[in-house]
């Protein structure tokens, strides 16, 4: 298949590209370098020393694997970029990772919130219109997030729920309660994509993904130039990856608030397999479908305890420390989310284990002198501590 | 109260301003002239000859009524504009009509869709952040639309619904199925406003309004310079207003498709009363509440028949003509929407009647030589007739 990967330079986009290329698909990548730029502005960096550019990555891939990937550097918010690549590459599948993916980033200021929603919503609108006009039969595989659902007091279903009400019933979009302007931007996307499928007969799979962990895939191990990024900072890092790094460098594992926040998690190798499964099993024209893409649920405390146990066995001194929750979120809540559709398509999950955590320790050890210590603790708060006075 | 009206130059914003000013509130208006500009670009215009600018309107109001209104011309997408007016005026209530309000406009092209969502979402984000920092106790009265809900096969509730599922239950946001990129932009706003109330303890009322009809309020009749706009063109016109105008000028009443599309409707005098009721009964800090703002449901065919009957009694020759539906929508469907919250606050509806329609005929007669005939029929289609070829 001809697979276009938007956001092909990211933590997941790059390993997805290698995976699909190795399977024999014709892969073309688009990226605007936003993630690298945001890291430079924050004075943060990937733990892993990734290749200097997406083109360098593609060249290394060709040397190591023998297969070619096309690369276009450009911004999805510039509709000419999107239209040109759809016209020239004629994709059959469009895997869309090309968004600002950080909740803390979106909460840092008004400008960050507005940029996040502009970037994600307008970029995706440009993709939808370009598909309508230039690739109406292509299949959009869009990365959403489990965070769109929030933490309702009922089981979370995969995108839709049958609601019985006053003697009638209908299958309706599952109600969304996002917890940040980033998560809200993904809800906006979902609404726009569903609409485009309905009115233009486009086909799309929305992958509401849990929190991804892991540092290596089959391909990143083949050559250091093929490493994917690994973020641990307050803006782009996520719970389990950060805990593993904290354990290795002797930093307390920072549990936000009570630690009862429960979410879906999955291994990075399962992410790329899920995207492959979605891509190779397209929906019908006009269908907007949603898969919940994760393999296990954990509370933050459970993750911290698992990492602490594994760390002690590995010979590390690990301390778990509760800190003020910078977010506004339920710290104890019901959480049970359905996630059978990808299993039905053949996903065989790689579950989290102490062995897996220990292998992450090993990989992190190798790059521990690259850690930027003062960028780990959260400084961005959902509720700014000192709001400006009303009448200055 | 100090009431800030965003979009104070519009069909509803201007009569709301006069109404609240006459009741003794301190009113300040913001507008960027977007609606007037869009009409110039479309070569369309209001049937009623409105005053040449918002400032001219405010001057006329002061001459007629004796009360002053402040006016700031500026764009809500420029956050400096929003922050300055909140700092200087210190509003207690912010009535937010300041958005691009047209579904056909949003469907005219990629650029129109992107502009509509950018303008509405970013403008409202700027209002929310400015409230957080400069007016955290103010009450946001935001105009949403009944079109956010779409046409589900269950009764529509006011913003939230109790969902019972697998032995558990929760009160969740009512699922949204908007039918255009404009309607989607209002869904995006709703998500963002709910989030802001939850994390920053802002207070907001989201008025999911039906289709408004009518040409006059108590204040617009006092002086011709106080007229509000009356749109009948394909972009900004709405069903009942357009039918009344078509009846007067001898144009067939254009029913889209089967005419079974059922929606909530209300008289413009009820709109301004609803906004007043919401404004004077604010929610608690942190509360995001939703009122469904309409008084009666009609199908398009029912409206056309009512106008035809009234027209014949009035001495007009009226023909009802079905035309291709330019939209993608259910032309026959279940529709029953709850709308009790504003009644509970004291709304006494002005129901639609043949007498009311005849009074609209009279008002339209007065300006019938201003009608631009070739801008009435719909040319914007949800599904473009000739998509570009995939490989040109």
For the beta carbon of residue A157, count every other beta carbon within 10 angstroms. Answer: 18
In terms of DSSP H, where are the helices of chain A? 13-22, 34-42, 54-65, 79-89, 103-107, 110-134, 181-200, 239-249, 268-280, 300-314, 341-344, 354-366
- Mutation pick from B152, B326, B334 vs chain A, by most beta carbons of A within 10 Å, is B152
For the beta carbon of residue B321, count every other beta carbon within 10 angstroms. Answer: 11
Q: Between B181-200 and A110-134, two packed helices, what is the crossing angle to 10 degrees?
A: 160
Rounded distance, CA B299 to CA B160, Å? Answer: 25
Q: Write out the DSSP string of A360-389.
A: HHHHHHHTGGG--GGGSS----SS-SSPPP
- Mutation pick from B75, B125, B383 vs chain A, by most beta carbons of A within 10 Å, is B125
Q: What pLDDT is stored for residue A365 in this prediction?
A: 97
* Residue B264 token pair: 């909530």
> Residue B75 falls within a domain, yes or no?
yes
CATH number at residue A97: 3.40.50.720
**Closest-CA residue to A308 (of A381, A218, A238, A244):** A244
In contact, A182 and A245? CB cutoff 8 Å: no
In SS3 terms, chain B reads as: CEEEEECCCCCCHHHHHHHHHHCCCEEEEEECCHHHHHHHHHCCCCCCCCCCCHHHHHHHHHHHHCCCEEEEECCCCCHHHHHHHHHHHCCCEEEECCCCCCHHHHCCCHHHHHHHHHHHHHHHHHHHHHHHHHCCCCEEEEEEEHHHCCCCCCCECCCEEEEEECCEEEEEECCCCCCCHHHHHHHHHHHHHHHHHHHHCCEEEEEEECEEECCCCCCCCCCHHHCCCCCCCCCCCCHHHHHHHHHHHCCCEEEECCCCCEEEEEEHHHHHHHHHHHHHCCCCCCCEEEEEECCEEEEHHHHHHHHHHHHHHHCCCCCEEEECCCCCCCCCCCCCECCCHHHHCCCCCCCCCHHHHHHHHHHHHHCHHHCCHHHCCCCCCCCCCCCCCCCC
Cβ–Cβ below 8 Å for B134 and A90? no
Chain segment A45-93, per-residue pLDDT in tens: 999 999 999 999 999 999 999 999 999 999 999 999 999 999 999 999 9
B195 contact A CB<8A? yes
Rounded distance, CA A111 to CA B125, Å? Answer: 10
Cβ–Cβ below 8 Å for B199 and A328? yes
Chain segment A369-384, per-residue pLDDT in tens: 999 999 999 999 999 8
Nearest CA to CA, how far is A333 from chain B (Å)? 12
Q: Tell me the pLDDT of chain A averaged across its residues.
A: 96
> Residue B104 falls within a domain, yes or no?
yes
Q: What pLDDT is stored for residue B10 in this prediction?
A: 98
What averages of pLDDT result for each successive group of 10 residues across chain B (392 residues)? 98 98 98 97 97 98 98 98 98 98 98 98 98 98 98 98 98 98 98 98 98 98 98 96 98 97 98 98 98 98 98 97 96 98 98 96 97 95 68 42
Among the partner-chain residues B122, B137, B392, the one whose CB lies closest to the CB of A118 is B122
For the beta carbon of residue A246, count every other beta carbon within 10 angstroms. Answer: 26
Q: What pLDDT is stored for residue B386 in this prediction?
A: 55
**Closest-CA residue to B235 (of B33, B363, B46, B15):** B46
Cβ–Cβ below 8 Å for B110 and A188? no
Cβ–Cβ below 8 Å for B152 and A134? no
Domain that holds residue B11: 2-301+327-375
Question: In sequence order, what are the residues at sequence separation of 6 or more whose Cβ sits closer than 8 angstroms to the Cβ of residue B196?
Answer: B128, B131, B132, B202, B204
Which residues of chain B have a CB within 8 Å of the CB of A392? 87
List the catalytic residues of B. Answer: 145, 182, 186
Whole-Å CA distances, A25 to A93, A346, B116: 10, 19, 37
A-B Cβ pairs (cutoff 8 Å, strict): 168
For the beta carbon of residue A240, count every other beta carbon within 10 angstroms. Answer: 24
Which residues of chain B have a CB within 8 Å of the CB of A288? none
A87 contact B CB<8A? yes
For the beta carbon of residue A362, count every other beta carbon within 10 angstroms. Answer: 12
Q: What pLDDT is stored for residue B186 in this prediction?
A: 98
Percent of chain A with pLDDT over 70: 98
> CA angle at residue B337 from B178 to B192, to 5 degrees?
45
Cβ–Cβ below 8 Å for A390 and B90? yes
Cβ–Cβ below 8 Å for B79 and A155? no
Nearest CA to CA, how far is A128 from chain B (Å)? 9
**Closest-CA residue to B209 (of B263, B260, B173, B160):** B263
> CA angle at residue A147 from A269 to A159, to 5 degrees?
85
Q: A388: pLDDT confidence band, cut at 50, 70 and 90?
A: very low
> Residue B203 falls within a domain, yes or no?
yes
**Closest-CA residue to B12 (of B194, B339, B236, B297):** B236
pTM over 0.90? The answer is: yes
Question: In sequence order, what are the residues at sequence separation of 6 or more whose Cβ sits closer than 8 angstroms to the Cβ of residue B315?
Answer: none
Length in residues, chain B: 392
A177 contact B CB<8A? yes
Among the partner-chain residues A154, A178, A179, the one whose CB lies closest to the CB of B169 is A154
For residue A208, give the H/E element and its range: strand A203-209
* Residue A368 token pair: 């521990």
Cβ–Cβ below 8 Å for A163 and B175? yes
> Residue B285 falls within a domain, yes or no?
yes
Q: What pLDDT is stored for residue A385 in this prediction?
A: 64
Whether A145 shows a pLDDT value over 80: the answer reads yes
Rounded distance, CA A93 to CA A91, Å? Answer: 5
Whether A129 shows a pLDDT value over 70: the answer reads yes
**Closest-CA residue to A270 (of A241, A246, A295):** A295
Query: Residue holding tokens 């521990």?
Result: A368
Chain segment A4-20, per-residue pLDDT in tens: 999 999 999 999 999 99
> Residue B319 falls within a domain, yes or no?
no
B134 contact A CB<8A? yes
* Residue B329 token pair: 């929508």
Among the partner-chain residues A110, A165, A384, the one whose CB lies closest to the CB of B154 is A165
**Closest-CA residue to B184 (of A121, A156, A171):** A121
Q: What pLDDT is stored for residue B384 in this prediction?
A: 82
Q: Is residue A67 exposed (0-12), middle (13-18) or buried (19+ Cβ within 10 Å)?
A: middle
- How far from the centroid of its chain's Cα atoms is residue B150's Cα? 16
> Residue A170 falls within a domain, yes or no?
yes
Among the partner-chain residues B154, B176, B192, the one whose CB lies closest to the CB of A191 is B176
* Residue A10 token pair: 């990211």
- β-pairing verdict for B296-299 and B262-267: antiparallel
Q: What pLDDT is stored for residue A251 in this prediction?
A: 97
Cβ–Cβ below 8 Å for B188 and A387? no
Q: What pLDDT is stored for residue A386 in this prediction?
A: 55
Rounded distance, CA A359 to CA A355, Å? Answer: 6
**Closest-CA residue to B273 (of B4, B5, B63, B23):** B23
Query: Residue holding tokens 């005929």?
Result: B361
In contact, B99 and A354? CB cutoff 8 Å: no
In contact, A162 and A169? CB cutoff 8 Å: yes
Nearest CA to CA, how far is B282 from chain A (Å)? 19
Q: A324: pLDDT confidence band, cut at 50, 70 and 90?
A: very high
Query: Residue holding tokens 């001219």?
Result: B56
> Residue A385 falls within a domain, yes or no?
no
- β-pairing verdict for A296-299 and A262-267: antiparallel
> Residue A64 falls within a domain, yes or no?
yes
Beta-bridge partners for B31? B73
Into how many domains does chain B fold?
1
Rounded distance, CA B113 to CA B57, Å? Answer: 31
Among the partner-chain residues B90, B172, B334, the one whose CB lies closest to the CB of A175 is B172
ipTM of the complex: 0.97
Cβ–Cβ below 8 Å for B328 and A198? yes
């Amino acid at each position: 298949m001809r697979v276009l990967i938007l956001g092909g330079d990211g933590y997941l986009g790059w390993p997805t590209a290698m995976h699909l290329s190795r399977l024999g698909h014709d892969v073309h990548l688009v990226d605007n370098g936003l993630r690298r730029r945001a890291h430079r502005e924050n004075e943060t960096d990937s733990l892993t020393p990734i290749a200097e550019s997406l083109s360098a990555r593609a060249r290394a891939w060709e040397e190591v694997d023998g297969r070619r990937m096309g690369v276009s550097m450009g911004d999805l918010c510039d509709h000419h970029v999107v239209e040109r690549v759809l016209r020239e590459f004629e994709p059959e599948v469009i895997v869309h990772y090309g968004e600002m993916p950080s909740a803390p980033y979106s909460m840092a200021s008004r400008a960050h919130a507005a940029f996040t929603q502009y970037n994600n919503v307008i970029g995706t609108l440009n993709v939808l219109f370009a598909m309508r006009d230039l690739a109406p039969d292509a299949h959009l595989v869009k990365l959403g997030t489990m965070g769109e659902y929030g933490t309702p007091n009922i089981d979370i279903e995969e995108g839709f729920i049958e609601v019985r009400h006053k003697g009638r019933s209908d299958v309706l979009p599952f109600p969304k309660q996002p917890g940040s302007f980033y998560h809200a931007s993904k809800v906006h996307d979902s609404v726009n994509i569903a609409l485009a499928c309905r009115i233009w007969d486009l086909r799309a799979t929305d992958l509401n993904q849990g929190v991804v962990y892991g540092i290596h895939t089959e391909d990143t191990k083949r050559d250091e130039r093929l490493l994917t990024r690994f973020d641990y900072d307050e803006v782009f890092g996520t719970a389990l990856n950060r805990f593993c790094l904290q354990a290795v460098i002797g930093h307390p594992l920072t549990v936000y608030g009570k630690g009862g926040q429960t979410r879906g998690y999955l291994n990075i190798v399962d992410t790329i397999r899920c995207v492959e499964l979605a891509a190779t099993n397209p929906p019908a024209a006009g269908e907007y479908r949603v898969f919940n893409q994760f393999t296990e649920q954990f509370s933050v405390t459970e993750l911290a305890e698992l990492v602490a146990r594994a760390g002690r066995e590995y010979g590390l001194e690990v301390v778990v420390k509760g800190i003020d929750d910078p977010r506004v979120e339920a710290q104890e809540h019901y959480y049970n989310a359905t996630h059978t559709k990808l299993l039905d398509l053949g996903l065989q999950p790689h579950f989290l284990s102490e062995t897996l955590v220990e292998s992450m320790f090993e990989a992190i050890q190798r790059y521990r002198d690259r850690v930027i210590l003062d960028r780990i603790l959260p400084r961005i708060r959902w509720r700014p501590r000192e709001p400006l006075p009303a009448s200055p």
